[in-house]
Amino acid sequence: MTAMSTGEKLVDAAAALLDAGGDAAVTLRAVAQAVSVSHNAPYRHFVDRASLLGSVAERDFRTFSATFDEISQSDRTPIGKVKAALESFITYGEKHPARYRLLFSDPDIASRGGSLETAAMETFAKFSALIAGGQTAGQLPNLPTAALTGLIYAAVHGLLDLRAGGRMRQEKGFSNVLAGTTLLLDLISPR
């Protein structure tokens, strides 16, 4: 097993701090302390805090891509693959709300470009391929795949945002994110 580099340890520490205390908990000094390196050590690996957070986001997007690859190669039905991918978004969003916001709601992260944008678009493309598989099997409507993917993507993220903000209530029609995404898939599935 290969030892983790200091840069990788710093990314791990930043992710853990996000999980434990949200965005405000992630400072370069706190990350350095968590890894037991000098307070200047993070600057040898990252230009600034935003660069470190970008690395956290990029790593998590790459994890989603790997998950979607596994789902794609599974023996699930095409719609089962879409549901499994949606469940991975939901599980991640519920387990890591601050990191979820970093990936899907942070305008700085969205505008960074480079390898981070490549990783984010790869995640979207792999999710889109699962949607296309559902369309080919006749389990999802024959619409432009990118538009359908965007709609489903937006719905799950919107539902997760409602949940994270404490605005998801039974009287509003949804008790949980999975129920909302399942309803959406049922509504758009060809009869």
Least confident range of 88-97, 124-133, 166-175? 166-175
Looking at the fold, whether 38 and 119 belong to one and the same domain comes out as no
Looking at the fold, whether 41 and 64 belong to one and the same domain comes out as no
Tell me what the pLDDT averaged over the chain comes to.
92
Q: What is the CATH number of the domain that holds 30?
A: 1.10.10.60
Q: What is the CATH number of the domain that holds 55?
A: 1.10.357.10
pLDDT at 191 over 80: no
Query: DSSP secondary-structure letter at 22?
Result: -
Q: At 137, is the secondary structure helix, strand, or coil? A: coil
Residue 72's pLDDT band, with cuts at 50, 70 and 90, is very high
Between 163 and 138, the higher pLDDT residue: 138
**Which residue pairs from 120-124 have beta carbons closer than 8 angstroms and sit at least 24 positions apart in sequence?**
120/57, 120/61, 122/61, 122/62, 122/65, 123/61, 123/62, 123/64, 123/65, 123/68, 124/149, 124/153
Look at the block and give the residue holding tokens 């990783």: 119
Looking at the fold, whether 137 and 67 belong to one and the same domain comes out as yes
Measured CA to CA, the distance from residue 103 to residue 75 in angstroms comes to 29
Query: In total, how many domains does the chain have?
Result: 2
Looking at the fold, whether 40 and 133 belong to one and the same domain comes out as no
Q: What's the pTM value of the predicted model, to 2 decimals?
A: 0.90
Looking at the fold, whether 57 and 38 belong to one and the same domain comes out as no
Looking at the fold, whether 95 and 168 belong to one and the same domain comes out as yes
Closest CA to 45 of 13, 18, 3, 19: 13
pLDDT tens readout for residues 89-113: 999 999 999 999 999 888 887 788 8
Looking at the fold, whether 87 and 108 belong to one and the same domain comes out as yes
pLDDT at residue number 12: 96
pLDDT at residue number 175: 80
Looking at the fold, whether 32 and 121 belong to one and the same domain comes out as no
The parent domain of residue 34 ranges over 1-46
Looking at the fold, whether 90 and 31 belong to one and the same domain comes out as no
Looking at the fold, whether 71 and 88 belong to one and the same domain comes out as yes
170's CB contacts (< 8 A; 6+ apart) are: none
Measured CA to CA, the distance from residue 31 to residue 132 in angstroms comes to 41
Q: What does the pLDDT average to over 164-179?
A: 82
Looking at the fold, whether 62 and 83 belong to one and the same domain comes out as yes
pLDDT tens readout for residues 36-70: 999 999 999 999 999 999 999 999 999 999 999 99
Looking at the fold, whether 139 and 167 belong to one and the same domain comes out as yes
Measured CA to CA, the distance from residue 21 to residue 181 in angstroms comes to 28
pLDDT at 1 over 70: no
Give the 3-state secondary structure percentages of the chain, helix then strand then coil, rounded to 5: 75, 0, 25
Measured CA to CA, the distance from residue 94 to residue 135 in angstroms comes to 28
DSSP of 45-96, one letter per residue? T-SSHHHHHHHHHHHHHHHHHHHHHHHHTSSS-HHHHHHHHHHHHHHHHHH-
